[in-house]
Amino acid sequence: MLEQSFYQKADEIIESHGRMQRALIPIIQDIQNEYRYLPPELLSYVAKEIGITEAKAYSVATFYENFSFDPKGKYIIKVCDGTACHVRKSLPILEYLHKELGLSKDKHTTDDMLFTVETVSCLGACGLAPVLTVNEKVYPAMTPEKAGELLAELRGDE
Ligand code: FES
């Protein structure tokens, strides 16, 4: 059960785009930007408010890979495992992050909700391989050691 403030925020976002069926994607994008994920309760709420079925809203949200129904950490680390990054040893970076943060291929987010670690197939920056991003900021030529320094830096921000 979500707190009331989530529905208030959703109302604000719906108002800003207009209560129209065609505003579904921009509305749920803004909700995801706000919470770093798309709470399923809010997707149902938005569907009702703009007059579409829940099934339709779910089919749109699941069609786009960018929408996530799972809560994510404050820092979303995406490790590229596309071909260029893979041959330049992206895997040891991923293994390092998993070990350091107590994560695995089935557990992506730390319990303190600080970090989420995901893999992606190509970040479009192959010349800088191996690459990772933290909340869309690109970090080139990474190594496990540099990833360790980056974690320390991000933790230091807290
Ligand atoms: S393969 Fe990693 S950026 Fe393209």
Does the C-beta of 126 come closer than 6 Å to ligand 1? Answer: yes
Any residues with CB less than 8 A from the CB of 26 and at least 6 apart, and which? 17
Indicate the pLDDT class of residue 1, thresholds 50, 70 and 90: confident
Mutate to test the pocket of ligand 1, among 123, 132, 139 (most ligand atoms within 8 A of CB): 123
Q: Is the pLDDT of residue 88 over 80?
A: yes
* pLDDT digit string, tens, across residues 38-81: 999 999 999 999 999 999 999 999 998 889 999 999 999 999 99
Of 91, 153, 154, 78, nearest to 122 (Cα)?
Answer: 78
What does pLDDT average to over the chain? 95
Does the C-beta of 132 come closer than 6 Å to ligand 1? Answer: no
Q: Whose CA is nearest to atom 1 of ligand 1?
A: 82
Cβ–Cβ under 8 Å, residues 117 and 105: no
Q: What global pTM score does this model have?
A: 0.80
Q: How far apart are CA 70 and CA 118, in angstroms?
A: 13
Q: How far apart are CA 15 and CA 144, in angstroms?
A: 45
Q: How many CB atoms lie within 10 A of CB 2?
A: 14
**Residue 36 alpha carbon to ligand 1 centre in Å:** 24
Backbone angles phi, psi at 17, to 5 degrees: -100, -15
**Residue 7 alpha carbon to ligand 1 centre in Å:** 38
Backbone angles phi, psi at 127, to 5 degrees: -65, -15
Q: Is the pLDDT of residue 154 over 90?
A: yes
**Residue 81 alpha carbon to ligand 1 centre in Å:** 7
**Residue 131 alpha carbon to ligand 1 centre in Å:** 7
Q: How far apart are CA 97 and CA 148, in angstroms?
A: 8
